[in-house]
């Protein structure tokens, strides 16, 4: 819940760098997806 409050404060204050945040989110999603595929194919999970 505190993370949501923090996001709200930064958004209202106009302190969010949306382009950087979206790039970081995309990288995290791609990395997690790739790691999942590798783990399942190698039978490590």
44, pLDDT greater than 90: no
Q: How far apart are CA 12 and CA 4, in angstroms?
A: 12
Give the rounded percent of residues in the chain with a pLDDT score beyond 70: 100
Calculate the average pLDDT of the chain: 94
Q: What is the average per-residue pLDDT within 18-38? A: 96
Distance of CA 35 to the CA centre of its chain: 15
Longest CA span, the chain: 47
Q: How far apart are CA 7 and CA 34, in angstroms?
A: 28
């Amino acid at each position: 819940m505190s993370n949501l409050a923090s996001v709200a404060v930064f958004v209202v204050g106009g302190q969010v760098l949306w382009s950087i945040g979206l790039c970081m989110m995309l990288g995290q999603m791609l990395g997690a997806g790739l790691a999942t595929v590798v783990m399942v194919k190698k039978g490590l999970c």
